A and B are shown apart, each in its own frame.
Chain A
Amino acid sequence: MHKRSADSMTVKRPAGKRKPTKVSRTFLLKLELRSHPTFLCVVRGALEPLMESLGFSGEENRAIIRGVDEAVSNIMRHSYHGCPDKPIDVYCNRLERRANGRSEQGIEVLLYDCGPAVDTTKIQPRPLDEVRPGGLGLHIIRGSMDEVEYKRAGRMNRLRLVKYAGASEGGSARREEKPQ
């Protein structure tokens, strides 16, 4: 569905305070799925040993699986409206981020679907102090991953999810829960 190759990108920091961070990317895995919910367990089953092999901790591994699973569920539910035979592509790339003499390992998961363009202004997570079913998926994705980025790529939706090993900023279940 989508052609990719190993490449690299540079993320520039604001106004000259720090050196740019160099991120290199290595392709690891591609999954081509149909949008049937039974394939969710296939995605989880493929990611778990891959993340373990990359050295993520158990908690980080669970966070990645949770974030990707919720994102794929969202595509099935919202982009394809439950239609079970639409294509979803999952790419996994290993990331290496170098800054200030340090190196960090991470995973980038790219999800592509052919649904209609997403109006990002209408996608807002609901307040968590409302105790009601539904609307938790986006919270869980953002709470599990370090970076979440949506982009319309031609006629496809692309969701980019990133998690770095040992990163403490955002994306961790370690966040303290406020009392209800």
Chain B
Amino acid sequence: MKISARRIDQATILDVTGNIDMSNSPEVRKALLQEIRAKRAPRVVLNLTSVQYIDSSGVASLIEGLKASRESGARFVLFGLNESAREVLKISRLLKLFEIYDDEAQAIAS
């Protein structure tokens, strides 16, 4: 899995490539918290277009990012979720908790 950051206006976009599971979810958590807490980014957008699979530890990292964003007054937005990612959030009853958009343009314009 790879994570890289880029900036468009006020939004920091984290592009994730690969699968997010127990072997690498701490890296996702670290990247999210670094942007939200350490860099105080006002809007963090997680690009999951190239993520095929997310397990419960990956979901836990997303929840940590969401909680951190609420604490710091930032916005945390997801886009590009495939069916697998949507299903795991749905089973965990978290789908409606996150701000989710279909593509980057919508996520940035939101």
Q: Which residues of A contact B (CB under 8 A)?
A: 37-38, 40-41, 44, 58-59, 62-63, 65-66, 69-70, 73, 76-77, 128-129, 131-134, 136-137, 139-140, 143-144, 173, 175, 177-180
- The 5 closest A-B CB pairs, nearest first, are A133-B60, A37-B23, A173-B87, A143-B91, A136-B56
Q: How far is the CA of A70 from the CA of B19 in the complex (A)?
A: 14
Please judge, given known A-B contacts A62-B84, A179-B96, whether A144 and B91 are in contact too, CB under 8 Å.
Answer: yes
Q: Is the CB of A140 within 8 A of B92?
A: yes
Contacts of A44 in B (CB 8 A): 19, 53
Q: Does B56 contact A128, Cβ atoms closer than 8 Å? A: no
| Complex: A38 Cα to B24 Cα, angstroms | 9
Do the beta carbons of B21 and A136 come within 8 Å of each other?
Answer: no
Distance in angstroms from B42 CB to nearest chain A CB is: 22
Chain B: residues with Cβ within 8 Å of the partner, total of 27
Question: Given known contacts A73-B55, A76-B22, is B60 in contact with A128 (CB within 8 Å)?
Answer: no
Give 26 A-B contacts (CB < 8 Å), ordered by A residue. A37-B23, A40-B21, A41-B19, A62-B87, A65-B53, A66-B55, A66-B88, A66-B91, A73-B21, A73-B22, A73-B55, A128-B92, A131-B97, A132-B63, A133-B60, A136-B60, A139-B91, A139-B92, A140-B92, A143-B91, A144-B91, A173-B90, A173-B91, A177-B95, A177-B96, A178-B93
- How far, in whole Å, are A37 and B21 apart by their CA atoms in the complex? 8
Q: Residue B94 at the A interface, CB < 8 A? A: yes
Residue of A nearest to B93 (CB): A128
In the complex, what distance in Å separates the CA atom of A32 from the CA atom of B101? 40
Tell me the B68-106 residues at the A interface (CB within 8 Å).
Answer: 83-84, 87-88, 90-97
Extra inter-chain contacts (8) besides given A41-B23, A76-B22, A133-B63, CB under 8 Å: A44-B19, A69-B21, A70-B56, A131-B94, A133-B67, A134-B60, A136-B59, A175-B91
